[in-house]
Structure 1
Amino acid sequence: MHHSEKKIIKEIHINPDNCNGCRACEIACAAFHAKPKYSSFNPSRARIRMVINEINDEWVAIRSGSFSKTECKGRSRYIINGKEYSECSFCSTICPDRTIFKEPDSDLPLKCDMCGEDPEQIPMCVQICSRQALTYSYREDQVHMPEEKIGQDLETGLGALTEKYGLEKIKDAVGRMVKKNRF
């Protein structure tokens, strides 16, 4: 069975030709997602990272993507100008083998949220990019998502929270939220 709905598709477009690697996007993202908002500028909380592609001598912005319970099988290594790179260097997937897009305090995966629900709200990384290396657009589209995928995403998130806090604390938190009519 599939679930179908109209959905706003938000996209950040990356143009490495315009990027000079200043990393302002990382800092803006980290500050926006700090708790409380703008209270710190810790780049390890950012959902975007700058990686140098030395083959083409350019900086590339990599945004955090989906979580995978398993790591990929590919482990190719590349030597560029005497420096070794793995093929993971330019991957946006969060997996058990990579800590690049994990919340430093909880170890939970960080996925780019495009800085919220409002499609007219331009993500912080795009707002701060003065060189137009990051641009933003959105469109409305019909999306079909299998019910089992929705369930898998939910189970992954709940599993991570349960591992960190324990099942009883999760149940208590959900109970409090129900009582406060937050659902």
Structure 2
Amino acid sequence: MKEFNEKHIKDLQEVGGFVLQDVFGHIVAIGIDSEYPDIASFLDDYIEIYGIYDLSKRLGYQNSRKMLNDLITKTIGFTFPITHIETKLMGAFKGISADDYAKKLEERQWHLGDVVEDGKGHKAMIIQDDHYFYELMKIKDEGAFQTFRYFDISADLTELQDDNPEWHKVVED
């Protein structure tokens, strides 16, 4: 499967594409030429790798014969629009629109002043020091701030985020 390169999210949004978030652990985009330009190219690749029987089960059919019969008879009679196949794929593989996926990416991206936490209950705030380097500053329970001395300092927020994968952004509901 062609793994979705998230740097192409704007291109995917422009064409109204969508993202399948769990195709055997892969994130796949449908709608741009560099990934899968259309549903047919995705289906072709999926069937070649995982087989038509697996696809029919994931789309909710008893077997591949019933799936093909349904697709062919309804497509010939034009009662089975492509959006129906898209809906079935999105349901089977945790699919979402490109716009919704872009929102998820933005929520994960760190920004100056954001609060992040690790899996152990520690919280930190992203700050910029006098030399314009980004740092994580620990937030203690008492409300006082103390800079983590063991963290890498970075001139780039993305690099700081990449260097600290155990930390994630705190998203308020």
Q: TM-score range by the shorter chain?
A: under 0.3
Q: State which structure, 1 or 2, has the greater radius of gyration over its C-alpha atoms.
A: 2
Q: Which has the higher strand share?
A: 1
TM-score relative to the length of structure 2: 0.19
Q: Which has the higher helix share?
A: 2
